[in-house]
Amino acid sequence: MAQDGTTLDWIEGADRTAPWPQAKVVVAGLGRSGFAAADGLLDVGAQVTVLDDNDGSANAEKATVLEMLDADVRLGAGSTATLPDDVDLVITSPGWRPSAPLLAQAAARGIPIWGEVELAWRLQQPDRAVPWLAVTGTNGKTTTTQMLESMLLAAGLKACAVGNIGRPVMEAVLDETPYDVFAVELSSFQLHWSKSLAMHSSAVLNVEADHLEWYAGEGFAHGGGMADYAFDKAKIFERVRHSCVYNVADVVTEQMVEDADVTEGARAIGFTLGMPGMSMLGVVDDLIVDRAFVEQRKDSALELCSVSDVQPNAPHNIENALAAAALARSFGVGATAVRDGLRNLNLGGHRIQTVATRDEVTWVDDSKATNPHAANSSMRAFDHIVWIAGGQAKGTTFDDLVATHAAKLRGAVLLGVDRQVVAEALARHAPDVPVIVIDDTDTGAMAQAVRAAATMARRGDTVLLAPGCASLDMWSGYDARGDDFAAAVRAL
């Protein structure tokens, strides 16, 4: 802080050229984004203190590296309980809620709080500025960002996928590679702690209830809950310079574009599974076409690729491809690169992945469906389903999902800490659907669930692992849950 006890007055508009050696900055959390944030701050000469309650071996190794660069790293229980007295700026890990003691203390003292994404944006200005094409939404963010990156690479651009997809943006900003563009996946948490981002183009894929436990309590502009979750998502459109991409089927995303304070000249670009209107991308006769970035869009469209180029070509994944194509086209990527990017892409597992077909029963792993909206996307793709669901519901409900797909359900097998939440929705909206509840709480429960599902399935059915819930009650992640499902299916 300045000598008079107030935060340095230049922090509010700070970029790479600011007098960072004057600044005392606390980095809250030493995960991958925290380490990258500390590294970036040290690179510009800031006085950095890193705090994390976890003193495990991974953090200890990172602490050693940062301490060699003159950071003050404090690990162990209680390290994040109290904010140091002399602080000008706090950089928080994205998962930290505003009510966390360290952040609440910073807010009470009027100390700015940024996320690593905000810091990365600031530290690439003005001399290392790389355009950002950004993606958010309740579901499909990672897939869409991967599609976008593949399209950009197919166009011969130096591009990389960063953000919530795994690689911190700051890491790429510090990279010596002269990137042309970043494909940036952003979660609502990352957007919550951002305030000055100005994307080349942005997309909001969809907005449904998720992470409501994070948005409970104090510290939110609109009292918490769904209003603030949507408010944070909408921040991705603020100050957009070229294109705001929205989902025609999701009126919330369109309203976000209408409400956004964008740079003059920025356009609203819709995507739809139906016939596209002007300034939209859509589907015509099994072709993905562009009526937004063509000169004669009043009476013509440009063919980009075939629906069959999208794999898997379930409806929600075609929507992902449309959004990715809109962002790529906004950056001048040609139709051939859009097509080749989709064809070249090899998505990670656990996304509507067929594990086996046995006795005309198909077993599908969509462990990545960690909320009801994602599960809905899976269930739209199949006609007769034995549903394996449950886990951490994160404050969401399943009534709409069950009511929508009740007629498709042959049976349901429920497991996980919030299995009863799903069971109650089934009882209300699909009382005739047989339900088997697995009460075991170790990972062996998945093998039980698969065996139970096998007793329900008939020829022509799909046994679908689309939990609608997070996995950390029993597994290390959705991938481990999906792996256990696949192993149990193979054991049949």
The annotation status of 143 as a binding-site residue, yes or no, is yes
Q: Are 248 and 254 in contact (CB under 8 A)?
A: yes
Task: Find the DSSP H helices in 155-280.
Answer: 169-174, 188-192, 226-234, 251-259
The one-character DSSP state at 470 is B
SS3 183: strand
DSSP 8-class letter at 22: G
- 138 a known binding residue? yes
Nearest CA to 105 among 120, 130, 87?
A: 87
- 87-100 in b/e form (b: 16+ CB < 10 A) is bbbbbbbbebbbeb
- Residues pairing with 133 in the sheet: 183, 201
416 is in an annotated binding site: no
Give residues with Cβ within 8 angstroms of 115, minimum separation 6: 33, 91, 92, 93, 94, 189, 190, 192, 193, 194
Please give the order of strands across the beta sheet that includes 267-271. Answer: 159-163, 181-185, 132-136, 201-204, 243-247, 267-271, 280-284, 287-290, 302-306
Burial-class residue 383 by CB neighbours within 10 Å (0-12, 13-18, 19+).
exposed
Q: At what angle do helices 315-330 and 141-154 cross, to 10 degrees?
A: 50
Maximum alpha-carbon separation in the chain: 76
Of 122, 74, 92, 96, nearest in space to 27 by CA = 92
- Cβ contact 26:84 at 8 Å: yes
Residue 59, annotated as binding a ligand: no
DSSP calls for 65-121: HHHHTT-EEEESTTTTSS--SS-SEEEE-TT--TTSHHHHHHHHTT--EEEHHHHHH
Residue with tokens 């007629």: 407
Residue from 164, 329, 138 nearest 252 by CA = 138
Q: What is d(CA 329, CA 339) in angstroms, rounded to the nearest whole number? A: 12
Answer yes or no: is 460 a known binding residue. Answer: no
Q: What is the CA radius of gyration of the chain?
A: 23
Angle of helix 141-154 relative to helix 335-344, nearest 10 degrees, comes to 120
Give me the sign of the Cα torsion angle 106, 111, 113, 116: negative
Known binding residues are 137-143
Known binding residues for ATP are 137-143
